[in-house]
């Protein structure tokens, strides 16, 4: 189960809610500066003064052992104190702790309970993680309608992982009526935000005309974008397209490069292996050089989609 936010991220989100008190504001500044001992001292004083945000910070500090002794039980106690007072960041963190079984026995029911508290306050990460939990986490029987409900809420709030997951449900007809057009629309939203798995799947949809107008050129562009981010399945597929010249100009050396990268990522392909073996020594050497110097690009969530 993916974590939607880090503990530090939750603390940051919480700093923006409620009236500022001097001790907590200073504790937060110290936390951000990674002066955890000072953060602990100030958060302790602020918690005694009744600031539930400081309780959440103490939960993080004890749980991680930052600025004080590592004490999981004490950390959870402080998280629960903040959670009981409606602190959605603490609720979300407790959900993650029980969902992943990190330092405690995994308990999906407890995870769902805390995620639901935060999700009802429109915590997008909690909504997405509820969708994952209802998808069969912890060997639970999947509840696809509930999964679709929470994925949709997070997707409509702009979460790319939720958009991708919702697209997959529409493609499979799980929890929602099967709808290839809706599957393509939601997958495209996630692809535009830089999610490489979504770029791969949307590229295939466009290449084959599944729920969207068929266009091999644009489909290949999406596959190349995913491959450039390091998606090994996309690297394998773009190698085939470059070898065959479908949707993209044929380029044997580039095809060999992507094949070598896909092999490194664990994908074996006998057809491409035979193709690479047929190349000249110079072309194979150049492909190896390009593969060795390849570095994945970071996702650019500002990038516009290729025209479609």
Cα separation, 180 vs 279, in Å, equals 40
Q: Is residue 45 part of a domain?
A: yes
21 falls in which pLDDT band (50, 70, 90)?
A: low
> In angstroms, how far is CA 236 from the centroid of its own chain?
22
- Tell whether 288 is covered by a domain: no
Q: What is the pLDDT of residue 23?
A: 82
Q: How far apart are CA 148 and CA 118, in angstroms?
A: 18
CA distance 39 to 33: 9
Q: What percent of the chain has pLDDT over 90?
A: 88
Q: Check if the beta carbon of residue 119 is closer than 8 Å to that of residue 88.
A: no
Find, among 7, 300, 1, 4, the residue nearest to 154 by Cα: 4
- CATH number of the domain enclosing 18: 1.25.40.10
Asked if the structure places residue 285 within a domain, the reply is: no
Within a domain: 76: yes
pLDDT digits (tens, 9 = 90+) for 174-232: 999 999 999 999 999 999 999 999 999 999 999 999 999 999 999 999 999 999 999 99
Query: Is residue 242 in some structural domain?
Result: no
The answer to whether residue 287 sits within a structural domain is no
Contact present, 61 and 43 (Cβ < 8 Å): yes
> Is residue 302's pLDDT more than 50?
no
What is the four-CA torsion angle of 245, 251, 256, 262, rounded to 10 degrees? -60
Q: Rounded distance, CA 1 to CA 3, Å?
A: 7
CA distance 132 to 27: 34
Q: What is the pLDDT, as a whole number, of residue 303? A: 47
Structural domain for 47, as ranges: 1-142
Q: Is 235 inside a domain boundary?
A: no
Q: Which one, of 246, 241, 227, lies nearest residue 275 by Cα?
A: 241
End-to-end CA gap in the chain: 33
Domain count of the fold of the chain? 1
pLDDT in tens, 125-172: 999 999 999 999 878 899 999 999 999 999 999 999 999 999 999 999
pLDDT tens digits, residue range 84-97?
999 999 999 999 99
Evaluate whether residue 109 is within a structural domain. Answer: yes
Residue 234 has pLDDT above 90, yes or no: yes
- The runs of H, that is alpha helices, within 102-247 are 108-119, 124-134, 144-156, 160-172, 180-192, 196-208, 216-228, 232-244
Locate 193 and state its tokens.
Answer: 């935000």
Pairwise pLDDT comparison (300 vs 103), residue with the higher score: 103
């Amino acid at each position: 189960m993916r974590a939607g936010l880090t503990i530090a991220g939750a603390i940051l989100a919480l700093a923006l809610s409620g009236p500022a008190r001097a001790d907590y504001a200073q504790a937060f500044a110290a936390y951000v500066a990674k002066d955890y001992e000072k953060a602990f001292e100030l958060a302790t004083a602020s918690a005694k003064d009744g600031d539930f945000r400081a309780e959440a910070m103490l939960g993080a500090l004890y749980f991680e052992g930052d600025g004080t002794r590592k004490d999981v039980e004490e950390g959870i106690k402080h998280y629960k104190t903040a959670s009981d007072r409606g602190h959605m960041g603490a609720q979300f963190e407790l959900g993650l702790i029980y969902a992943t079984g990190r330092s405690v026995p995994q308990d999906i029911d407890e995870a769902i309970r805390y995620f639901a508290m935060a999700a009802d306050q429109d915590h997008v990460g909690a909504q997405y993680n509820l969708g994952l939990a209802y998808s069969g986490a912890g060997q639970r029987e999947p509840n696809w309608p509930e999964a679709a409900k929470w994925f949709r809420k997070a997707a409509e709030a702009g979460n790319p992982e939720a958009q991708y997951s919702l697209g997959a449900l529409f493609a499979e007809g799980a929890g929602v009526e099967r709808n290839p057009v809706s599957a393509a629309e939601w997958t495209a939203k996630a692809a535009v935000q830089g999610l490489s798995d979504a770029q791969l799947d949307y590229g295939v949809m466009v290449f084959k005309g599944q729920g969207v107008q068929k266009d091999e050129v644009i489909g290949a562009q999406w596959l190349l974008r995913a491959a450039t981010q390091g998606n090994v399945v996309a690297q394998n597929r773009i190698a085939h397209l470059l070898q065959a010249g479908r949707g993209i100009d044929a380029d044997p050396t580039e095809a060999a490069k992507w094949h070598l990268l896909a092999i490194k990522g664990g994908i074996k392909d006998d057809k491409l292996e035979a193709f690479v073996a047929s190349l000249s020594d110079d072309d194979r050497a150049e492909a190896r050089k390009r593969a060795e110097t390849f570095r994945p690009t970071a996702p650019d969530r500002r990038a516009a989609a290729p025209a479609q």
